[in-house]
């Protein structure tokens, strides 16, 4: 049992199946297979039911459940209902919990969304990525721009009042005007929340080869900075306020689950490759879907790695992730929690960033300015 009272937990559930594999994707996922999916859901339910996760020792209540992937919306609503059901049986779950399902536009229609709603999902996060067919094809995405434009409408008709869209920025062949057209299309779609991700090309990504073959390139760095800054301005004008480096939301619609990652929170995790953090311990389940199923089915723990975080690591991470928020971090409080004077420890290293106007120190808090968000990696490197 943990040593101090904490805010409620998050519960993450990983669904590793996709209908097609996008050419830039570096997540833990594989191609959908009906029989494998059925066995996987059985294993998940068994894992949750039999978990020796610390929350089961008594103290932990949860107020968010997050289905991530992969493509969780490939599950049947009844399967999602059974997973939510076992989580509610096993943990003290707040009746007003945020229950998010990552959803790909092509995997659902209005009727299926209604059934997800009835299953207990109350927030949808759509992987839209672009509102332009040529860009979607380049990424290997299998939905159309037209479908992307209609997902929020379908979600509303199915009863959802909390809908997020993911958009990818700095795509091959994309210029500032093309990007802003996507931002405008997102605003027109009317979501409650949006996440803007910079395309990151990992080594050996098939998209890299496609780009070399087709002669597509990414816009220069200065254009990427302009894309980011102008998008944030437009989104704010439209009522979607930035609250994290990559995330904007209408009032009361920030992702409660993701906020746990940025506010030194705690979460449990089920499914292959999923990682959890609780009471200073971090653990990760085995990544391979087959191995996960086999272990759980045979009553063997699916945890592949487990590490007790040192006090310094916990502090560094609290500062590192907290700085992603526009409100910044209460460094004095974090320091108090971990018994360190943050400004004494890091003050000198942070000074040049404050002088450059990237970082603001206001009494005990530290926050990045919007320009500073463009340089976040450099600033955060101070803590690691
Ligand atoms: S849908 Fe998402 S998880 Fe699946 S391959 Fe594409 S980017 Fe990866």
pLDDT digits (tens, 9 = 90+) for 55-81: 444 445 999 999 999 999 999 999 999
Task: Specify the pLDDT at position 127.
Answer: 97
Low-confidence stretches of the chain (pLDDT < 50) are 1-3, 55-59
* β-sheet bridge partners, residue 307: 282
Nearest to 312 by CA among 291, 327, 284, 334: 334
Span 26-42, pLDDT tens digits: 999 999 999 999 999 99
Task: Specify the pLDDT at position 75.
Answer: 98
Q: Which two tokens stand for residue 14?
A: 């990983």
Give residue 16 CA to ligand 1 midpoint distance, Å.
9
Give residue 17 CA to ligand 1 midpoint distance, Å.
8
Nearest to 105 by CA among 126, 84, 91, 89: 126
Beta carbons of 246 and 193 less than 8 angstroms apart: no
Task: Specify the pLDDT at position 384.
Answer: 82
Ligand 1 atom nearest residue 20's Cα? 5
Task: Specify the pLDDT at position 138.
Answer: 93
Helix (H) or strand (E) holding 348: helix 342-355
Model's pTM, two decimal places?
Answer: 0.95
Give residue 182 CA to ligand 1 midpoint distance, Å.
20
DSSP, collapsed to helix, strand or coil, labels residue 12 as strand
Check pocket membership of 199 for ligand 1, CB cut-off 6 A: no
Task: Specify the pLDDT at position 363.
Answer: 87
Ligand 1 atom nearest residue 141's Cα? 6
Q: Which two tokens stand for residue 150?
A: 């209609």
């Amino acid at each position: 049992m943990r040593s101090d009272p904490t805010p409620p937990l998050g519960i993450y559930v990983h669904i590793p199946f996709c209908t097609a594999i996008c050419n830039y994707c570096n997540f833990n996922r594989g191609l959908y297979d009906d029989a494998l999916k059925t066995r996987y859901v059985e294993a998940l339910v068994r894992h949750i039911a039999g978990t020796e996760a610390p929350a089961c020792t008594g103290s932990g209540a949860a107020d968010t459940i997050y289905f991530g992937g992969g493509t969780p919306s490939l599950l049947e609503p009844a399967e999602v209902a059974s997973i939510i059901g076992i989580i509610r049986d096993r943990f003290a779950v707040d009746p007003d919990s945020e229950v998010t399902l990552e959803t790909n536009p092509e995997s659902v229609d209005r009727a299926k969304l209604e059934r997800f709603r009835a299953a207990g999902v109350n927030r949808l996060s759509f992987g839209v990525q672009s509102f332009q067919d040529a860009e979607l094809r380049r990424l290997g995405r299998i939905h159309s721009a037209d479908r992307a434009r209609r997902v929020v409408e379908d979600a509303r008709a199915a009863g959802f009042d909390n809908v997020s869209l993911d958009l990818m920025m700095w795509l091959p062949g994309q210029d500032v005007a093309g990007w802003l057209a996507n931002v405008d299309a997102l605003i027109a779609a009317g979501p409650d929340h949006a996440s803007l991700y910079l395309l990151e090309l990992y080594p050996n990504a098939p998209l890299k080869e496609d780009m070399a073959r087709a002669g597509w390139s990414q816009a220069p760095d200065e254009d990427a900075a302009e894309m980011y800054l102008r998008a944030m301005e437009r989104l704010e004008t439209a009522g979607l306020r930035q609250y994290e480096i990559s995330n904007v939301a209408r009032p009361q619609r920030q992702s409660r689950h993701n906020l746990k990652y940025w506010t030194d929170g705690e979460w449990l995790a089920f499914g292959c490759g999923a990682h959890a953090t609780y009471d200073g311990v971090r653990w990760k389940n085995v990544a391979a879907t087959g191995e996960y199923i086999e272990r759980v089915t045979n009553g063997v723990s699916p945890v592949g790695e487990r590490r007790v975080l040192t006090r310094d690591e916990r502090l560094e991470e609290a500062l590192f992730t907290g700085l992603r928020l526009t409100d910044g971090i209460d460094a004095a409080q974090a320091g108090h929690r971990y018994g360190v004077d943050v400004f004494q420890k890091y003050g000198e290293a942070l000074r040049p960033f404050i002088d450059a106007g990237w970082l603001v120190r206001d009494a005990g808090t530290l926050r990045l300015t919007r320009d500073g968000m463009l340089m976040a990696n450099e600033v955060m490197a101070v803590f690691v």
